[in-house]
Amino acid sequence: MSKVADALKLMKDEEVEYVDIRFTDPRGKLQHVTLVADLVDEDFFEEGFMFDGSSIAGWKSIDQSDMKLIPDAGSVYIDPFYAEKTLCVHCNVVEPDTGEAYSRDPRGTAVKAEAYLKASGIGDVAYFGPEAEFFIFDDVRYSVTPAKVAYQIDADAAAWNTDSEYEMGNLAHRAGHKGGYFPVNPIDEAQDLRGEMLSTMKRMGMKVDKHHHEVATCQHELGLIFGGLTEQADNILKYKYVIHNVAAAYGKTVTFMPKPMKGDNGSGMHVNMSIWKDGKPLFAGDKYADLSQEALWFIGGILKHAKALNALTNPATNSYKRLIPGFEAPVLRAYSARNRSGCVRIPWTESPKAKRVEARFPDPSANPYLAFAALLMAGLDGIKNKIDPGPASDKDLYDLPPEELAAIPTVCGSLREALEELEKDHDFLLAGDVFTKDQLEGYMALKWEEVYAYEHTPHPVEYQMYYSC
């Protein structure tokens, strides 16, 4: 109740007019309903708010549409973008008649994953540190009709505009393709924009540490300091929300698509993970790269289940435009303390407290609740079953002779393949009822719709290759 009291006090101190209750659909998009603040009291936080779940793709049918949102008072923050003072709160979804967690609620899955970790006895808390990249453009247009399938993007800062004519002249300072990491301004044109994004997050109570230009033209990243699984999934949604809205205020547009343009690096969401038990880091030890045996087993679980994980950590057809060799893409199911071309990296650190494992294949199109929960479940399966990850790969994996490279397994090459792998390999997700079969079936049905839409649509490059055949 202290969190509820704190939330109500914040409402009073800030003279809040509205309360925005927020939840997440299966694909990971933030949804909201805004209430007059007078309706929000202690009973509201306990009893929740009814809504129509049939309007959310992949959830209930119209004849079973009644659902309830239960606010998490510990997640409140003041929205920095609304004209009227508004308090935001993230919610879990429950069945109104039983009060039980709705099996398809992504945030509920994250909460259950944290509870499962504690119940397993392996650890008390799992810390997650996601690093989500994104692109900033000035103009984006696309069309998907029977007569026209096309997209067009542009940005003043883009590498391809070095010879464009502008009314006020072309100042010519631009990062070239793969040259954005990371010269100072004026080549880095978005310093102030990123700074405002990060400052806005800090004012919202988020723990942040840095911002910088990324490798690709128009690509950027802001840094979040690690936190608990559900907390960090909340923060990724807030991260996207802030970035989209600050960019819009500058007259710009942001995308978290993994691969919005050809010929340059795509956007990933590297996920740093560690487990602690009894106040001590479980992953610190005397094995490879000063890891513990449990950390190596954790890596073994991730590598074993990587293809099934792809359906949750790389859930867009566009994800597999990024997961190809040659663009620093982590497509190989290998681990290393040095090599960035494998799926899993062990970042260097002097402190045992900072010892962690970094999954490099996820991308920011993922629903963070589902992706983080699935990564934890794969790692815990590795620890429970003592899955050996094999020897580390400290060579440049893309510089290996073809016969050696062929011996290293890869992640999936398409969303179709990832869904097929998830259908075959999902028992590790069902442990402790963290995920449910019903939830996975509903999720996969949504994703199969995306696969069919993509596969059934002619692509412009097919005209280039085949029109005159």
Residues designated catalytic: 52, 131, 133, 214, 221, 270, 340, 358, 360
Q: Any residues with CB less than 8 A from the CB of 6 and at least 6 apart, and which?
A: 73, 76
Q: Are strands 208-213 and 219-224 parallel, antiparallel or unpaired?
A: antiparallel
46 annotated to a ligand binding site: no
Cβ-contact 27, 57 below 8 angstroms: yes
353 marked as part of a ligand binding site: yes
Q: Is residue 262 marked as binding?
A: no
Cα(218)–Cα(266) distance, integer angstroms: 11
Binding site annotation covers 29?
A: no
Q: Is 456 annotated as a binding residue?
A: no
DSSP 3-state percent helix, strand, coil across the chain (nearest 5): 40, 20, 40
The answer to whether 265 is a known ligand-binding residue is yes
CA distance 281 to 387: 20
- Residue 328 counted as an annotated binding residue: yes
- In DSSP terms, 153 is beta-bridged to 140
User: To 10 degrees, what angle do helices 415-424 and 306-313 make?
Assistant: 120
Question: Which among 43, 47, 49 has a CA at the least distance from the CA of 68?
Answer: 49
Residue 340 annotated as part of some ligand binding site: yes
Cβ–Cβ < 8 Å for 28, 9? no
Annotated binding residue at 131?
yes
- CB burial of residue 270 (10 Å; 0-12, 13-18, 19+): buried
Residue 270 annotated as lining a ligand binding site: yes
Q: Is 350 annotated as a binding residue?
A: no
Q: Is 133 annotated as a binding residue?
A: yes
Residues placed in the known binding site for L-glutamate: 265-266, 322, 328, 340, 360
Residues placed in the known binding site for Mg(2+): 131, 133, 214, 221, 270, 358
Residues placed in the known binding site: 131, 133, 209, 214, 221, 265-266, 270, 322, 328, 340, 353, 358, 360
Residues placed in the known binding site for ATP: 209, 340, 353
